[in-house]
Chain A
C-alpha cells in the first residue's frame, strides 16, 4: 500500500514538473537582473556562510535558480521564495571556495518564462567568524519595552537569546561587545536597580558598578583590552532631542563626556585630566590591536543643542601603559575635523592593526539616526582614507565590527527602509579593497519584511558565548555588584 501511494505521488510530481518545465521552450531573455530580496547580486561571500535564501519580488509562479561553479552546480526550485538545502549549500560552498559562481534565474511570471541576466557570487576562502551577537530593539528612538540580546551562528540559522529584559524586570540593556572577537571576553550594561556592567571573562560573569563618587555617569561606550585586564570606557551625560524636519529624526548628544580605564584585576577606575574635563567631549574609546594605545573621538564642547550642527568630532589617539593601566601623556590627532568638516564616530581597528574603520556623519555623536552616515577606513600604515563607495548606501551605515582575521567586517545598515538596521557583511581583500556587502541570511527570506526591530551593534566572535539568558537573570537578581573605586 505504502509503495502504491509513493508511486502515485511520484507520478503526479513528475507530471507536474514536466508540465512546468515543458513551457520553458518559449523562454524570454531579460537584460535586467531579477528583483531579488535581499540584494545578493554580485556579492563576495565567505565559504562558511549560511544559505543565501531570497525572494523574488515579482512573485513568479515558479522560479528555477542554478548556481554554476567551476566544479559543481546547485539547483533550487521554488515559487517566489528560494530556500537552499543547508546540506547541499554547505557542500557546494566547500567545493567552490576560491571560485566565482554564476547564478542564473528563470522565473515563470503570468504564465511566461523569463531568463534574467545572470549575476555572480565570489566565494572566498577567507572565513568569517561564525558567531554574531546583536541587540534586537524597536527603533523607538530613546525608549524600550522588550529587549533581547541574541547570538546567531551565521554558518547556519541557529539563534539563541543570551539576555532578555523580561527576565531582568524590564530594564534597559545595552549592546553586547566582545573583546578581540573572543567569546571568553565580553561585556554589556544592564541598567536598573540591580543592574551593572556584566563582564564575561573566561566564562566567569561579574556585575560591576562602573561609577564611583568622582564620576558624573556610569560607563557607556567602551572596549576591552586584548589582555582582558582592562576596559576603556567613556562616561557620558546623554540628552535626546527630536528634529522637526521629516527624514531627520532623533538627535542624541552629550553635554559632558570623559574617558576612564577600568582595571578588572584591581577593581579600580583610572582617570586622567588629559581625557577629562569640561572643555572637550571625549567618546567612543577603543584599544588598538596591540593594546598599546587607545583611539577615541573628541570635540570641543559647545552650547547645545543650539550649536549641534557645529559639533564635529575628530579622531585621536593616546598611548596606554599596559603595566600601570595609565593613559599616555600626549594626544595625537589622526583625523582633524573643523566646523566645516564631518564628525567621526565609532573607530574600530582591524585585529591585524592595518586599518581603522569608523563612521562619518555631518555632525554630532549619534550616527545611527543620521541618514548621511557612511563608513570610512583609515589605512594606519599609510594614513590614506578610503571612502568605501561599494559599501555605503543612502542611509545610515555604522555600528561596525571586524572578524578576527581582518578580512571581514559587519555593520548595521538602514539601507532598505531608513528605519530598521540590519547586519551586513563586507569583505576586505588583501589589497584593502572593500567588496559589495550582503545582509545576514535568514531561513525565511521574508523575515526582514515583517520584522519590526533593529539590529544594534552586530559583533562577530570566533566562538559561542559561555552564558545564556538564565545566567544573566541569575547575575541580575542574585549576584552582588562589585564597586570599582
Chain B
C-alpha cells in the first residue's frame, strides 16, 4: 500500500516536472490539483470500494492469445475494450485497482486539460478539466462500469489532439472525416465526442466550415446505424457500445458541456482570481462528493467484501464482516453460512446471523434470479461436495455475467474437475488460466495436484474427493435437499453436507427430519452437542413428550434445559408477543421456530 502511494506521488512529481517550462503559478496549481486528484482517487478506491475493484477483475478474464485479442474487434470500441480489459487484470492485486484507476483518471485529467486548452480556455483549465474526470470517477463503483469505458473516452481526446496538429486544411478535413469511422472501431460510441470537439475548436478559432461540420456530424450520426448489422448490434446498442447505459457516458456529456461553455469568452478567458478558483473548486467538490455519495453502494461493498474474502478463503474475515455489518441480505448470509460450515460452527452459531429460511444456504438459480446471485451460487454446492451442481452453477454464473467470462469461476471450474479427477476437463480450463498473468500460479499448483502420481500427498484434495456423490439419482436443479440427503447417505463423514442438511431442516422448521438425521448421522459421532441442534432437539422432545432419560442420552446440558423451560413459560405468558422473548432469548432457534415467517 505504501509502495503504491509512493508510486502515485512520484508519478505526479514527474508530470509536474515535465511542465516546468510553464509559469510557476500555473504549475503550482496543476501540481496541487493533480496531487489532490490522485490522492483522493487512491484513498476512495482503496478505502471505500476495494472489493468492488476485486470483483471487477473476478468477472473478467484476460487471456494472452492472439485469437483472443482479435475477438475484441468483432464489436465497436475494440481497442478500448482490449486495453481496458488488459488493465482490469491488475485489479486482482492488492491495491492494484486503486493505483490503476487513479493513474488512469490522472491521465484523463491531463488529456482533458490539454483539450480544453486547445479549445481556448485559459487559467481555469485544470479546474474545469476536473469535471469530466469526476463524472467518470463516480461511476467506477458501479459493477457495470468497466475500465474499457474509461479507455473509450481517452481515444477521442488523443485523436483530437493529433487532429489539431494538422496544419494543412484539406488534410485536416480529410483526416477529420476518416477519424469518425476509425474512432468508432477503436473507441465505440465515445467517437461522438470527436465532431463536437472539432466544431467547438473551429468556432473558437474563427473557422467557418459549415459543410465540413455537416458532413462530420451526419457521418458520426449515421455511422453506428450503418454498421450495426455488421457488428450484430441493435441500433440502440450501436449508439451506446461499449457503454451499457446513457448515464455511463456522463463524462462525455460533461466535457461537451464544458467545451460549449468555453465558446463564451467570459468563461473561456475567466481570470484565475481567488473567487473564481474557489467557486469552481467548491463546485467540483460538491460534484465529486455528491456524486460519490449517490453512486457508492456500501451495502454491495460489504456483500462483495464477504464474497471476495470467501474467494480468498479468509473465513475468519468473512465471519468478522458478517458480525460487524449485520446485513439482512441472502448473499451475505450465504457467505457467513459457508464460513460457519468451514469453521465447524454451523450448529452453534447459525442463529446469530440473519437467516431468510433456506435461501441463505443455497442461492437459487432460476430464470428470475439476478446474474449477481447466480454468479456466487456454485460456492455452497462446491463446499458440500455436490460437484455437478457446482459446475452447473459456475457455468451459468459465467454465462450470465456481463462479459460471459470470469477468472473466479474459471478457477472454480478447474477445482471442480481436479476434485472429480476429470483430467481432460480440468486441462481445458487449466490451459485458459495458464494463458493469464495473475492466475497462472494457481493453474500450476492445481495442475500439479491433478497429475500427482500420489494424490495422498494432498490430504485436502483427498478429503474433498471423499465428499462427492458416488451414487446417481436424478433431481431438479431447485432441489438441494435431495442432493444433501444423498451426499450424507454416501458419506456420513461429510460434515459440511451434514451441517447443511441439518440446517436445511431447521430453517424449514422440519424438526422430525432433523431429529431423524441427527440421530442417525450426528449423535454418536460427536461428543459435543452444538447449541442450535440442542435447542431443536428440545423442541422435538417437548413435542413428542420424551422422557428425561432421552435428554440425557442426547447429552443436552441441564442449563439449556432450564433455559428452554424458562423460554417456554415466557413464550406462553407473552401470548405471541415477540419483544419480551427476543430480549432474553435472542439468537436461539426457539425464537426462529416460533416467530420467523416468510416475507412476500
Q: Smallest distance from the beta carbon of A59 to chain B beta carbons, Å?
A: 11
Query: Closest Cβ of chain A: how far from B447's Cβ, in Å?
Result: 14
- Would you list which residues of chain B between 464 and 491 have a CB under 8 Å from chain A? 468-477, 483, 486
Q: Does A139 contact B (CB under 8 A)?
A: yes
Q: Report the stretch among B46-54, B247-255, B427-435 that lies at the interface.
A: B427-435
- A141: B residues at CB distance < 8 A: 392, 395
User: Is B229 in contact with chain A by the CB < 8 A criterion?
Assistant: yes
Contact indicator per residue, chain B 420-439, by CB within 8 Å of chain A (1) or not (0): 10101101100110010000
Question: A308's closest neighbor in chain B, by CB?
Answer: B474
B263 at interface, CB cutoff 8 A: no
Which single residue of chain A is at the shortest CB-CB distance from B66? Answer: A444
Q: Are B471 and A244 in contact (CB under 8 A)?
A: yes
Q: A138-B398, A138-B404, A251-B474 are in contact. Are A246 and B468 (CB under 8 A)?
A: yes
The answer, yes or no, to whether B67 is at the interface (CB within 8 Å) is: yes
Given A166-B234, A246-B422, are A144 and B399 also a contact pair (CB < 8 Å)?
Answer: yes
CB neighbours (8 Å) of A242 from chain B are 388-389, 392, 474-477
A419 at the interface (CB under 8 A from B): yes
Residues of chain A with a CB closer than 8 A to B387's CB: 246
Contact B395 A140 (CB under 8 A): yes
Using Cβ atoms and an 8 Å threshold, which residues of chain B touch A247?
A: 420, 422
Contact, CB under 8 Å: A417 / B469 = no
Is the C-beta of B68 less than 8 angstroms from some C-beta in chain A? yes
Q: Interface readout for B485-500 with A: 1 if CB under 8 Å, 0 if not?
A: 0100000000000000
State the CA gap A241–B422 with chains docked (Å).
22
B396 within 8 A of A: yes
| Contact (Cβ within 8 A) A245 B469 | yes
Closest residue on chain B to residue A445 by CB atoms: B67
* In the complex, residue of chain A having the shortest beta-carbon distance to the beta carbon of B74: A161
Interface set, chain A 140-172, CB cutoff 8 A to B: 140-141, 143-146, 148, 161, 164, 166-167
Is A241 a contact of B424 with CB atoms below 8 Å? no
- Across the interface, do B424 and A418 meet the contact criterion of CB distance under 8 Å? yes
Category for how many chain A residues contact B: 35 or more
**Cross-interface CB contact of B475 among A144, A241, A416, cutoff 8 Å:** A241
Tell which of B229, B389, B398 touches A470, judged by Cβ atoms closer than 8 Å. B229
| Contact indicator B234/A248 (Cβ below 8 Å) | no
| Nearest CB of chain B from residue A255's CB, rounded to whole Å | 13
Minimal beta-carbon separation of A242 from chain B (angstroms)? 6
Residue of A166, A241, A246, A450 touching B476 (CB-CB under 8 A) = A241
Contact B432 A449 (CB under 8 A): yes
Contacts of B65 in A (CB 8 A): 444, 446, 449-450
Select which of A164, A246, A419, A450 is within 8 A of B67 by beta carbon.
A450
Expressed in whole angstroms, the Cα–Cα distance for A246 and B390 within the complex equals 11
B237 and chain A: residue at smallest CB distance: A166
Interface string of A305-324 (1 = CB under 8 A from B): 10010000000000000000
Min distance, Cβ A362 to any Cβ of chain B, angstroms: 12
A143 touches B396 (CB 8 A): yes
Q: Are B435 and A140 in contact (CB under 8 A)?
A: no
Distance A468 CA – B230 CA, assembled complex (angstroms)? 10
Cβ contact of B399, chosen from A143, A450, A469, cutoff 8 A = A143
| Least CB separation from B365: chain A residue | A143
Q: B392 near A305 (CB under 8 angstroms)?
A: no
- Closest A-chain residue to B487, C-beta based? A244
Q: Mark A67-88, 1 if CB is under 8 A from B, else 0.
A: 0000000000000000000000
Tell me, yes or no, whether B232 is within 8 Å of chain A by CB. Answer: yes
Given contacts A145-B404, A450-B67, contact A167 B388 (CB under 8 A): no
Asked if A15 is an interface residue, CB under 8 A from chain B, the answer is no
Indicate which residue in B229, B404, B476 contacts A146 across the interface (CB closer than 8 Å). B404
A 218-247 binary contact with B (CB < 8 Å = 1; else 0): 000000000000000000000011111111
Interface 0/1 of A23-61, CB less than 8 Å to B: 000000000000000000000000000000000000000
Indicate the member of A241, A419, A420 with the most B CB atoms within 10 Å: A419
- Report the Cα distance A446→B473, complex, angstroms: 37
Q: Does A9 contact B (CB under 8 A)?
A: no
- Interface: B400 (CB within 8 A): yes
**B8 on the A face (CB < 8 A):** no
**B511, CB-defined interface residue at 8 Å:** no
Residues on B with C-beta less than 8 A from A146 are 399, 404
Is A11 close to B, CB under 8 A?
no
Cα distance A292–B468 when bound, in Å? 51
**In chain B, what residue has the closest Cβ to A443?**
B67
- Rounded to whole Å, the gap between the CB of A392 and the closest CB of chain B is 16
Q: Please, which residues of chain B bring their CB within 8 A of the CB of A419?
A: 425, 428
**Complex contacts, B427 vs chain A, CB 8 Å:** 417
Question: Would A244 and B483 count as touching, CB distance under 8 A?
Answer: yes
Q: Hey, which chain A residues are within 8 Å of B405, CB to CB?
A: 452
Complexed CA–CA distance, A305 and B475 (Å): 9
Question: Does B309 sit at the interface, judged by CB under 8 A?
Answer: no
The digit string for B224-246, where 1 denotes a CB below 8 A from any CB of A, is: 00000100111001000000000
Question: Which residues in B have their C-beta under 8 angstroms from that of A161?
Answer: 232
With A and B bound together, what is the CA distance between A140 and B397 in angstroms?
Answer: 9
A469 touches B229 (CB 8 A): yes
| Residue of A148, A395, A452 most packed against chain B (CB within 10 A) | A452
* Contact of B147 with A by CB under 8 A: no
Known: A246-B469, A450-B435. A138 touches B474 (CB 8 A): no
- Rounded to whole angstroms, the CA-CA distance of A452 and B234 in the bound complex is 24
Q: Using Cβ atoms and an 8 Å threshold, which residues of chain B touch A143?
A: 367, 396, 399
**B474: A residues at CB distance < 8 A:** 241-244, 251, 305, 308
Q: Which 8 A-B pairs have the closest CB atoms?
A: A245-B472, A417-B428, A444-B67, A470-B229, A244-B469, A241-B474, A246-B420, A305-B474
Question: Which A positions have Cβ atoms within 8 angstroms of B?
Answer: 138-141, 143-146, 148, 161, 164, 166-167, 240-249, 251, 305, 308, 395, 416-420, 444, 446-447, 449-450, 452, 468-470, 473
Given contacts A138-B395, A246-B387, A249-B391, could you give 4 more A-B pairs where the C-beta distance is less than 8 Å? A140-B395, A243-B388, A244-B475, A305-B474
